[in-house]
Chain A
Amino acid sequence: MEAFQRGLPSPEPCAVAERQHLLVCDAKAAARGLRAGMPVTAALALAPGLRLRERDAAAETEALLGIAAWAMQCTPNVALAFPDLVLLEVSGSLKLFGGLVKIEVRLRQGLAAMGYGARLAAAPTPRAASWFARAGGQRLIADAALLERELSALPLSVLESKDEETLSSIGIRSIGELLALPRDGLARRFGQRLLDTLDQALGRLPDPRGFCVLPEKFYAAIELPAEATQAEALLFAAKRLLAQLEGFLAARAAGTRQVLFSLTHRAAPATRIELGMVTACREATHFALLLRERLPQTALPVPVRAIGLEVQAIEPLAHSNQNLFADALREEGNWPRLIERLRARLGAAAVHGMGLRADHRPERASVPAEPGAKQLALDFEPRPFWLLERPQGLEENASVPCRDGPLKLLAGPERIESGWWDGADVARDYFIARAANEALLWVYRERSPAGAWYLHGIFS
């Protein structure tokens, strides 16, 4: 069920069925008397509003692969055991993360953030760990000497073997009782395979696993339990995806500059929301912050059914070091985060830096640039602090330009004649003028027979 909805609360009872029988049902469905194994027809009679889903093996595999990729932030050695197990070899990571308990807490919190419930167990061998997990989890065994005693208490069902029934019919109920049987007899009755399995669990035989390889790109999707338009509901679901992305990026020691959300609708093309970053980033909280600013700006035509998260390009990003005096120092260098936040709400074009261009034409000498980028150093004649986006025509009275009274020309002319090659040619004589209110203005006169006056800048 979590493969579909990631534990998002659904307004109506919900269940997953396989071959016309219920497989699992949520708390709301259980409250109506629905039970696993119940025929679908009976379930629908009890709960007419039931949201019924057919079991989807592909979605489950997808979810398992997603968890595996996410878990690689703890260790590079992650193996899958279908249909429901992810195995992590953490012996090499114990020191880095500060012990088995800390890794367990980290994994548990991470899985919860992604919306998955899981049973976690640790043991010296992969098979023993999977048995503990199947039997209910919550068991962290680091000491190989304790392994046999702990394994003995497990029920036979963890074997998932066809011999389970035969074994229980001869009175064997636990692994311990199975281990107590004479080995040669056991091999004769049930085959060498069962013995090997037991030996692998105890670490007497090697149990090699093929480790997963991380995919290059990231894609994950989540289906909303109910169609939503509210930003908060969408954000809640998106956070689950972002938590998964953070793990994926951490596993690759990478960050990304571009995150793409696609919001799927029932009867309209998907809405795409693209978050651009100034520098590579991997923190789920930061992505969520940007999305929170962006969502209200995005017009959603119809309610959203599902959210997809895609990252095409990643780039290397070192793990941040734990610094004793971290916060103040790090924040100072964190100006890209500020710019990303501003851009998420105001649009990319509304937030920019400034650069100089070697061009005599005043309107071309100052150009928008990327903040933080090194700029040319150029020398200019005295220039005003403010430039009008578009020169403003001035009235002329007795050959004197006027703006609330005649202007007094103080300095000039500075002749600027340039740009005939690109079609935006100017031929102007610039003056510094004083207005009646003492403001200093930068005005020019067109070098044409008409010779109109314009205001182009204000000294300040």
Chain B
Amino acid sequence: MPGLAAELDQHPGIWRGSELARSACPGIATGFAALDAELPGGGWPRGALTEILPQHEGIGELRILGPALAGLAAQGKFIAWIAPPYLPYAPALAAAGIDLARVIIVKTSRDADSLWAAEQALRSAACGGVLVWPRDIRFPQLRRLQLAAEDGRCLAVLFRPTQAAREPSPAVLRIALATAAGGLALSIFKRRGAPLFRPILLPALSAPLIAAGSSLSPGSNAHVVDSPASAAVAVGSIPARLALA
């Protein structure tokens, strides 16, 4: 009965174990088609906790959020950065298309304050995105944040070390980031729907940067404001013996 199977597939109340969960509320497009295809709702979930577990900082954990954050800021939503490990750098955010007027940086000295601030931001309708870097967080606190996230409708992202992947978490989406040959490997080890076993590969960050950056020849890309003293420093003092590649 091929007709019946097709009809069952159409039925909104029937979900097959192999499919992604149907999400009532569409996600926020990530800007990466390969990633969107594997996420329920076709993007980052709203009103739920997402965990990103980078292997090390600087792996590309902000790059994968960039387009979504830019889109939220363009809608006039605020993006709260709570307890970031370094200073978010305004020129890079602006280059990623994020409206700086919509950025709130919150520095805290204790995890309790970070979690409190995250909860406030999540529950406030003013925020479209809340990014939190907790130092140490336990299940009950995660659960609390998840409830706060359900209250609002924003993108809630928690950055945690890879070791945290072994601990249980109420987050609906958990992604581990690792470097792989020629790019960034995203392993979605928890999502609404069937787990994904093969990682998603995104192109490496270095290629566009190097293309945009200058060649390794001194003097071609200089921001030098001439000073009386600069004449004393020989131009092109970069030693030629540097191992460049």
| Chain A residues near B (Cβ < 8 Å) | 328, 331-335, 337-339, 341-342, 345-346, 350-356, 360, 362, 365-369, 371-375, 377-378, 380-389, 398-400, 406, 408-421, 425, 427, 429, 431-432, 434, 437-441, 445, 447-448, 451, 457-460
User: Closest CB of chain B to A281's CB: distance in Å?
Assistant: 15
A contact residues around B58 at 8 Å (CB): 384, 386, 439-441, 458-460
By a CB distance below 8 angstroms, the chain A residues around B163 are none
Residues of B near A388 (CB, < 8 A) are 86-87
| Cβ-closest chain B residue relative to A334 | B126
- Contact between A427 and B230, CB atoms less than 8 A apart: yes
Asked if B8 lies at the interface with its beta carbon under 8 angstroms from chain A, I say no
Q: Knowing that A360-B225, A417-B230 are A-B contacts, what are 11 other residue pairs whose CB atoms are under 8 Å apart, sorted by A's residue number? A: A354-B103, A366-B87, A385-B89, A386-B86, A387-B89, A406-B243, A411-B216, A413-B216, A415-B222, A416-B224, A457-B86
Residue from A346, A360, A419 in contact with B106 in the complex, judged by beta carbons closer than 8 Å: A346
A412→B241 CA distance, assembly (Å): 15
Q: Which of B38-46, B117-125, B135-143, B188-196 contacts its partner?
A: B117-125
In the complex, are the beta carbons of B229 and A410 less than 8 A apart? no
From known contacts A338-B127, A354-B103, infer whether A410 and B93 are also in contact, taking CB-CB under 8 Å: no
- B210 to chain A: which residues have CB within 8 Å? 410-411, 432
B162 beta carbon closer than 8 Å to chain A: no
Pairwise interchain contact A356-B86, C-beta atoms closer than 8 A: no
Q: A384 to chain B: which residues have CB within 8 Å?
A: 58, 89, 92
Measured in the bound complex, the distance between the Cα atoms of B77 and A332 in whole Å is: 8
A-B contact pairs, 28 of them (CB 8 A): A331-B124, A334-B124, A337-B126, A338-B78, A338-B127, A342-B120, A351-B107, A353-B100, A353-B101, A354-B103, A365-B90, A365-B91, A371-B78, A373-B101, A375-B101, A377-B94, A380-B94, A385-B62, A385-B89, A386-B84, A386-B86, A388-B87, A398-B243, A420-B225, A425-B227, A438-B179, A439-B59, A451-B239
Residues of A within 8 A of B86 (CB): 386-389, 457-458
B57 interfacial by beta-carbon distance below 8 Å: yes
Contact across chains for B94 and A352 when beta carbons are under 8 A apart:
no
Contacts across chains A and B counted by CB atoms under 8 Å: 247
CB-CB under 8 A from A419, the residues of chain B are 225
5 nearest CB pairs, A to B:
A411-B213, A335-B126, A415-B222, A366-B90, A331-B125
CA distance A418 to B106 in the complex (A): 30
Judging by beta carbons under 8 Å apart, are A440 and B108 in contact? no
In the assembled complex, B4 has its CB within 8 A of some CB on chain A: no
Determine whether the beta carbon of A437 is less than 8 Å from that of B90.
no
B199 nearest CB across to chain A (Å)? 15
Q: For the complex, what is the distance from the CA of A360 to the CA of B228, rounded to whole Å?
A: 18
Complex CA distance for A69 and B233, rounded to whole angstroms = 71
Q: Are B90 and A459 in contact (CB under 8 A)?
A: no
Taking a contact as CB atoms closer than 8 A, the residue among A339, A406, A413 that contacts B221 in the complex is A413
Q: Hey, which chain A residues are within 8 Å of B205, CB to CB? A: 440, 459-460
Give the distance to chain A from B209, nearest Cβ to Cβ, in Å: 5
Q: How many Å lie between the Cα of A221 and that of B116 in the bound state?
A: 32
B100 contacts which chain A residues (CB < 8 A)? 353-356, 369, 375
Is B31 an interface residue, CB under 8 A from the partner?
A: no
- B residues with CB within 8 A of A: 55-63, 76, 78, 84-96, 99-108, 113, 116-117, 120-121, 124-127, 179, 205-206, 209-210, 212-216, 218-219, 221-225, 227-230, 233, 237-239, 241-245
User: Whose C-beta in chain B lies nearest to the C-beta of A439?
Assistant: B58
B222 near A351 with CB under 8 A, answer: no
Q: What's the minimum C-beta distance from B116 to chain A, rounded to whole angstroms?
A: 7
* Pairwise interchain contact A381-B87, C-beta atoms closer than 8 A: no
Q: Closest Cβ of chain B: how far from A193's Cβ, in Å?
A: 63
The verdict on A414 contacting B87 (CB below 8 Å), with A345-B116, A351-B104, A440-B205 known, is no
The interface residues of chain B lying within 8 Å CB-to-CB of A333 are 126
Q: Which residues of the partner chain B approach A421 to less than 8 Å between Cβ atoms?
A: 227
Report the Cα distance A341→B85, complex, angstroms. 23
User: Which residue of chain A has its CB nearest to the CB of B204?
Assistant: A438
Bound form: Cα–Cα A394–B215 in Å: 23
B95 touching A417, Cβ below 8 Å: no
Contact, CB under 8 Å: B227 / A414: no
Residue contact A440 to B101, C-beta cutoff 8 Å? no
Whether the Cβ atoms of B55 and A437 lie closer than 8 Å is yes
The closest CB in chain B to the CB of A351 belongs to: B106
CB distance from B156 to the nearest CB of A (A): 15
- Residue in A332, A341, A399, A460 whose Cβ sees the most chain B Cβ within 10 Å: A460
Given contacts A346-B113, A351-B105, A385-B88, contact A400 B243 (CB under 8 A): yes
- Residue pair A440, B206 in contact (C-beta under 8 Å): yes
B209 touches A331 (CB 8 A): no
A382–B212 touching, CB < 8 Å: yes
Nearest-CB residue, chain B, relative to A429? B238
Contact of A417 with B222 in the complex, beta carbons under 8 Å: yes
Q: Which residues from A are CB-within-8-Å of B179?
A: 437-438
A337-B61 in contact given A342-B106, A356-B94, A415-B222 (Cβ < 8 Å): no
Q: Are A368 and B105 in contact (CB under 8 A)?
A: yes
Q: Which residues of B contact A334 (CB under 8 A)?
A: 124-126
Contact of B87 (CB < 8 Å), options: A339, A377, A387, A427: A387
Find out whether the CB atom of B219 lies under 8 angstroms from the CB atom of A437.
no
Instruction: Report Cα–Cα, A411/B216, bound state, in Å.
Output: 6
On whether the beta carbons of B90 and A355 are closer than 8 Å, the reply is yes
Contact across chains for B101 and A445 when beta carbons are under 8 A apart: no
Q: With A331-B125, A335-B126 given, is the CB distance from A418 to B103 under 8 Å? A: no
**Which chain A residues lie closer than 8 Å to B103 at the CB level?**
353-354, 371
Q: Distance (Å) between the CB of A429 and the closest chain B CB?
A: 6
- The interface residues of chain A lying within 8 Å CB-to-CB of B218 are 413, 415, 429
Shortest CB-to-CB span from A388 to chain B, Å, is: 6
Give the residue name and chain of the B residue nearest to A407 (CB).
Answer: B243
A382 near B125 (CB under 8 angstroms)?
Answer: no
Q: How far apart are A459's CB and chain B's nearest CB, in angstroms?
A: 6
Give the docked Cα–Cα distance between A368 and B215 (Å).
Answer: 32
Contact B244 A409 (CB under 8 A): yes
Chain A residues lying within 8 Å of B124, measured Cβ to Cβ, are: 331, 334-335, 337-338
CA distance in complex: A409, B245 (Å)? 6
Whether A412 pairs with B216 at a CB distance below 8 angstroms is yes
Q: Are B93 and A385 in contact (CB under 8 A)?
A: yes
Cβ-defined partner of B108 (8 Å) among A346, A378, A416, A420: A346
Q: Which residue of B lies closest to A368 (CB)?
A: B105
